[in-house]
Structures are given as structure tokens and as C-alpha cells.
């Protein structure tokens, strides 16, 4: 049967083995055993799932390769058989597949696909199929080997089963796992007065697995209470420290799974604290930067404001000086002619509106030209300044005193009738003529002629007419011999 034709026919016989009926499959197995082609190994191993042809398939495998269990074909086929155990229909019909796995490879639990079989073995436990053909030790052995593949959680759920024997069996398996949760379950069972299982079992397990379970439970409770309070007031650092203590506590009990779990939570909380501290530090730095920027900006604005205020002050000062210069006669220090008329017009308008009396006095120094000619203009200027000062001193605060031009001065007297104006003119004339003027070079006697005019009604006579009348009286004083006072009379 090792002819080329037979070898080429191997795929056809494999297809017949996989898809044919019982008779066809048996015939295909017999033919493949005579051809002895390695390609038939995997199909033959898979065919062993069918209990009716398992023996003949095994004979064929031994014929092809006596060490077929150690071949790559077996390694490739075991996961398929495991899947058949996991998904092979009714749980009760899968026992032959389990037996086949144990026969082919007793260590089949090492395969990744083996974790899918956990429900099947838990079902065995739940439905009391752990009889003499499937004792509890065999089930426990499988579940223990599948510990890393989610066997513990379903066993814990089975502790709430309605049948006490299922609870007790599941509990005994958990104890073999040496999982700390067996201790926790025992403690809880004792606290809740668990009646379906003999309490002595729990006490025996606790004493066997953990002689210090009472101290452990008390320490765990205290740490968890502290962590609960820390979480309520959002103390992340304290929560992290509690997880760290729990990790160390579980490490002492050699429960590495829970120790690792709390160690991860510890680092998560520490990371949260670190991230929060970083965020707060960034916020503080940002706030500090904003405050510094605002302060610098405020200081810059303050400097600008101070500079602007100083500039405004200087401008006002300059403006005031310019205004003063535009109003004051620089030689005598009294109002110049332009500003005198500005103030006089304003006062005269008021007097006209309210029909109040207003008077004017014109003053001229006699023979002043001889002073300039004989003693120089410097002496003449000093004399003019002295005359202006005496006029100002003898005038009232409300009177408007100005230099009219040259050696002529003028005074506007608000709220003053003619008789009162004459009295003031006499006081000024006396001040000027009774005391000589002192200069830097010489002391000179003074003579002055004064003209006085008055507008009683303040309506009929314009300001310039009033001043012209005072000027007319002044010239009459000059004509009558100078150094005297004359009054204009209509």
C-alpha cells in the first residue's frame, strides 16, 4: 500500500474519515493504517473523539507511529479536543472527551484553550456527576491546574448553591487552592451563623490555613475603615497609604494576588496624588506668573501715570506762567493794558447789568522824561516799579490796577461812587508825592497828576468813555500846573 497511487489517495481517505458515515470512516481508518502516512495522524487523533471508533483509530495510530503521542500532530490536535470538551453539546456526553484528553496528554491543562473547560467541570460538580467514575479529587485536580483560568470565582459562587454537598465540595476545592478568600468566606460564614455546612469545617480550615486569622481580620478591618474615611473626605495620600498597608498585610499572608492588587491601587492613588500636586503646582506657578505680570504691568502703568501727572503739572505750571506773563506787566508786576481791559470790561458789564456805580482813576508821573534823560532808563524803570507798588498798596483788593502805558497807570473802582473815588485818589497821590522814590543810584522826589471819573448809573456810559473822561480830567490837571487831582464833571 506504499505505492505512489496509494500515497496520492491519502487526502481522499482523510476527507472520508472526517465527513463519512460510520462504515466509511472505519474503512478509511483501516486503509490509512496500511498506507502509514504521517498526514493521517491528526485526522486519526481527532477521530478518537468518537468513542465508537476510538479503539480502531488508536490501533491505526500505533501502526503508523508507535510514539504518536509525542508527535507534532498530537500537539496540534489537543487544542481541538479541548474545544470539543468545551463546546461539545450536552455536558453529560463529554466525559469520553475528557478521558481522551487524559489519555493523549495528562498535562492538557497547560494549553491556553483549557480555561474554556472550567464551566464543564463546575457543571460536573453542580450536577453530582463526581461519582466513582469522576471522583471529586479528579475534578479538584483539574480546577487546581486551571487556577489561573478563572476557576476560583465560580467556586465562590457555588458556595450559595441550594445543595449543601455542592457547597461543601466547592469549599474543599477552594481550600486546596489556598486562596485567602477561603479564609474570608470562613470568617463570614462563622459571623453569619452558616448552618448548611458544619461550622467545625470552617474553624478547622481557618486554623489550618491561618493561625493568625483573627489578628489579620482585625488589622484588615481597621485599615479598610481608615481607607473608607479617607475616601469620604478625598484624602488621596491617606487612601494610597492604606492600600500600601493592605498590600503588605496580604504579602505577610502570602496572598500574592491580593497583595499585587492593592499594590497596584497604591501606585494608582500615588499617581493621582502626584498628578494633582503637579496640577496644583502648575496652577500656582501660572497664578504667580500672572500676578507678577500684573504687578509689572501695574508698576509700568503707575510709572506712566506718574510721568503723565508730572507732564500735566509742568504743562499747567508753564501755562500758568505764560498766562501770568500774558496778564502781568513784567516791569511793574501789575496787570498789563490788555488784561486790565479784559477784567475791566467784565466788571463794567456787571455794573451795567445791576446798575451799580463804577469809577476810574488815571495816574501820570510828571516830568518823568527828565528822569530817563538825566539818570538813565534803569533808574526810570526802578521808579516805575516803585510807583506801581505804592499804587497797589493803597488800592483796595477789589480794585483793578494796570499799567496804561509809559508812565501812566489806571485803576477801575467797582461799587465806588465819585466821592469815594476822590478819597482813594487823594490817598494814592499823597503816597506818591510825600515820600521820594529810592533807586539803586539816587533818591528822587515824585510828582503825579491824577484824573478821576465816575459812571453812577452804569448804563449810559461805555467803559472807554469812562476811561476817556478820567484821561480828560488828567490832562486838565496837567494844564492847571501838574501834581494835583482833577475830577471829570459833565
Contact 38, 65 (CB under 8 A): yes
Asked if residue 206 lies in contact with residue 187, where contact means CB atoms within 8 angstroms, the answer is yes
Question: Per-residue confidence at 296, pLDDT binned at 50, 70, 90?
Answer: confident
Pairing, β 448-455 against β 485-487: parallel
* Cβ atoms 357, 456 nearer than 8 A: yes
The phi and psi torsions of 438 (rounded to 5 degrees) equal: -95, 130
pLDDT tens for each residue of 154-202: 666 666 666 666 666 666 666 666 555 555 665 565 555 555 555 555 5
Q: Is the pLDDT of residue 455 over 70?
A: yes
d(CA 86, CA 57): 22
Question: What pTM was estimated for this model as a whole?
Answer: 0.41
Partners of 408 in beta bridges:
364, 405
* CATH code for the structural domain at 4-226: 1.25.10
What's the 3-state SS for 60-80? HHHHHCCCHHHCHHHHHHHHH
Quick one: how far is CA 173 from the chain centroid? 55
| CATH superfamily label, 337-487 | Reverse transcriptase/Diguanylate cyclase domain (3.30.70.270)
Q: Which 3 state secondary structure label does DSSP give 268?
A: helix
Q: What is the mean pLDDT of the chain?
A: 80
Q: Residue 110, SS3?
A: helix
Q: Is 488 helix (H, G, I), strand (E, B) or coil?
A: coil
Element housing 437 (H / E): strand 437-438
H/E element, 449: strand 448-455
Segment 92-97 shows an average pLDDT of: 69
Amino acid at each position: 500500500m506504499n505505492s505512489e497511487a496509494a500515497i496520492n489517495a491519502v487526502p481522499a481517505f482523510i476527507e472520508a474519515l472526517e465527513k463519512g458515515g460510520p462504515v466509511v470512516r472505519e474503512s478509511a481508518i483501516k486503509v490509512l493504517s496500511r498506507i502509514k502516512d504521517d498526514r493521517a495522524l491528526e485526522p486519526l487523533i481527532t477521530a478518537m473523539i468518537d468513542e465508537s471508533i476510538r479503539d480502531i483509530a488508536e490501533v491505526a495510530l500505533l501502526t503508523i507511529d508507535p510514539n504518536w503521542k509525542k508527535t507534532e500532530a498530537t500537539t496540534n490536535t489537543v487544542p481541538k479536543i479541548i474545544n470539543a470538551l468545551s463546546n461539545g453539546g450536552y455536558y453529560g456526553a463529554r466525559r469520553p472527551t475528557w478521558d481522551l484528553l487524559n489519555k493523549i496528554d495528562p498535562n492538557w491543562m497547560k494549553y491556553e484553550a483549557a480555561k474554556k473547560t472550567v464551566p464543564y467541570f463546575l457543571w460536573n460538580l453542580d450536577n453530582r456527576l463526581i461519582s466513582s467514575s469522576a471522583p471529586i479529587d479528579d475534578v479538584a485536580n483539574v480546577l487546581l491546574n486551571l487556577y489561573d483560568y478563572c476557576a476560583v470565582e465560580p467556586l465562590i459562587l457555588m458556595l450559595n448553591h441550594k445543595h449543601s454537598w455542592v457547597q461543601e465540595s466547592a469549599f474543599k476545592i477552594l481550600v486546596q487552592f489556598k486562596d485567602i478568600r477561603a479564609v474570608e468566606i470562613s470568617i463570614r460564614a462563622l459571623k453569619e451563623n452558616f448552618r448548611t455546612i458544619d461550622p467545625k469545617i470552617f474553624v478547622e480550615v481557618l486554623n489550618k490555613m491561618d493561625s493568625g486569622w483573627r489578628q489579620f481580620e482585625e488589622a484588615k478591618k481597621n485599615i479598610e475603615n481608615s481607607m473608607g474615611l479617607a475616601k469620604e473626605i478625598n484624602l488621596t495620600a491617606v487612601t494610597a497609604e492604606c492600600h500600601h498597608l493592605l498590600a503588605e498585610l496580604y504579602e505577610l499572608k502570602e496572598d500574592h494576588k491580593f497583595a499585587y492588587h492593592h499594590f497596584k491601587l497604591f501606585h494608582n492613588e500615588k499617581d493621582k496624588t502626584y498628578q494633582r500636586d503637579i496640577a496644583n503646582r502648575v496652577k500656582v506657578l501660572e497664578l504667580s506668573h500672572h500676578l507678577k505680570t500684573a504687578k509689572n504691568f501695574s508698576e509700568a502703568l503707575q510709572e506712566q501715570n506718574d510721568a503723565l501727572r508730572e507732564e500735566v503739572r509742568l504743562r499747567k505750571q508753564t501755562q500758568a506762567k505764560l498766562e501770568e506773563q500774558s496778564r502781568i506787566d513784567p516791569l511793574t508786576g501789575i496787570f498789563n493794558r490788555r488784561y486790565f481791559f479784559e477784567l475791566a470790561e467784565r466788571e463794567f458789564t456787571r455794573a451795567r447789568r445791576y446798575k451799580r456805580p463804577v469809577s476810574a482813576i488815571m495816574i501820570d508821573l510828571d516830568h518823568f522824561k527828565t528822569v530817563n534823560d538825566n539818570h538813565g532808563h534803569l533808574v526810570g524803570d526802578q521808579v516805575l516799579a516803585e510807583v506801581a507798588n505804592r499804587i497797589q498798596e493803597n488800592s483796595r483788593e477789589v480794585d483793578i490796577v494796570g499799567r496804561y502805558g509809559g508812565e501812566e497807570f489806571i485803576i477801575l473802582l467797582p461799587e465806588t461812587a465819585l466821592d469815594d473815588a476822590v478819597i482813594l485818589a487823594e490817598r494814592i497821590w499823597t503816597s506818591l508825592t510825600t515820600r521820594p522814590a529810592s533807586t539803586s543810584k539816587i533818591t528822587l522826589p515824585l510828582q503825579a497828576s491824577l484824573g478821576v471819573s465816575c459812571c453812577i448809573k452804569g448804563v449810559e456810559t461805555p467803559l472807554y468813555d469812562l476811561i476817556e473822561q478820567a484821561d480828560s480830567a488828567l490832562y486838565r490837571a496837567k494844564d492847571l500846573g501838574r501834581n494835583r487831582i482833577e475830577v471829570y464833571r459833565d
